[in-house]
Amino acid sequence: MQAFIVSIGEELLIGQTVNTNAAWTAAQLNQVGIEVREVRVIADKKTEILRCIREAEGMAGLVLITGGLGPTRDDVTRDALCEYFDSRLVVNKEVLDDITVYMERRGRKVSDVNRDQARVPEKASIIRNPYGTAPGFWFKKGDRSFIAMPGVPYEMKEMVLNHIMPALEAAPRKKHIVHKTVLTHGVGESVLMELIAGWEDGLPDAVKLAYLPSMGIVKLRLTATGKDKELLVKLIGRELKELQKIIPEYIWGYDDDSLEGVTGHLLAKKEKSLATAESCTGGFIAHKITSIPGSSAYFKGSIVAYANQAKEDLLGVSHTLTETQGAVSREVAEEMARGARQVLNADYAIGVTGIAGPGGGNKNKPAGTTWIAIAGEHDVASRKFAFGDNRERNIIRAANAALAMLKDFLERT
User: Topology of domain 176-254, per CATH?
Assistant: Alpha-Beta Plaits (3.30.70)
Residue 71 has pLDDT above 80, yes or no: yes
Residue 73 has pLDDT above 90, yes or no: no
Helix/strand/coil (H, E, C) string of the chain? CEEEEEEECHHHHCCCCCCHHHHHHHHHHHHCCCEEEEEEEECCCHHHHHHHHHHHHCCCCEEEEECCCCCCCCCCHHHHHHHHCCCCEEECHHHHHHHHHHHHHCCCCCCHHHHHCCEEECCCEEECCCCCCCCEEEEEECCEEEEEECCCHHHHHHHHHHHHHHHHHHCCCCCEEEEEEEEEECCCHHHHHHHCHHHHHCCCCCEEEEEEECCCEEEEEEEEEECCHHHHHHHHHHHHHHHHHHCCCCEEEECCCCHHHHHHHHHHHHCCCEEEEECCCCCHHHHHHHCCCCHHHCEEEEEECCCHHHHHHHHCCCHHHHHHCCCCCHHHHHHHHHHHHHHCCCCEEEEEEECCCCCCCCCCCCCCEEEEEEECCCCEEEEEEECCCCHHHHHHHHHHHHHHHHHHHHHHC
Residue 172 has pLDDT above 80, yes or no: no
pLDDT score recorded for residue 129: 96
- How many CB atoms within 10 Å of residue 381? 17
pLDDT in tens, 274-322: 999 999 999 999 999 999 999 999 999 999 999 999 999 999 999 999 9
How far apart CA 185 and CA 166 sit, in angstroms, is: 36
For the chain, percent of residues with pLDDT exceeding 90: 92
Domain-wise residue ranges, the chain: 2-170, 176-254, 259-412
Residue 98 has pLDDT above 90, yes or no: yes
Residue 174 has pLDDT above 80, yes or no: no
- How many CB atoms within 10 Å of residue 103? 15
How far apart CA 385 and CA 391 sit, in angstroms, is: 14
CA Rg, the chain, in Å?
Answer: 26
Contact 303, 340 (CB under 8 A): yes
Confidence band for 72, pLDDT divided at 50, 70 and 90: confident
Domain 176-254 and domain 259-412, same fold? Reply is no
Confidence band for 169, pLDDT divided at 50, 70 and 90: confident
Contact 65, 147 (CB under 8 A): yes
pLDDT in tens, 21-46: 999 999 999 888 899 999 999 999 99
How far apart CA 64 and CA 294 sit, in angstroms, is: 36
User: Topology of domain 259-412, per CATH?
Assistant: Maf protein (3.90.950)
Whether pTM exceeds 0.95: no
Residue 207 has pLDDT above 80, yes or no: yes
pLDDT in tens, 235-278: 999 999 999 999 999 999 999 999 999 999 999 999 999 999 99
pLDDT score recorded for residue 265: 98
Residue 140 has pLDDT above 80, yes or no: yes
> What does the pLDDT average to over 347-368?
95
Q: Does the domain made of 2-170 have the CATH classification 3.30.420.280?
A: no
> What does the pLDDT average to over 184-192?
95
pLDDT score recorded for residue 311: 98
Among 369, 316, 312, which residue's Cα sits nearest to residue 338? 316
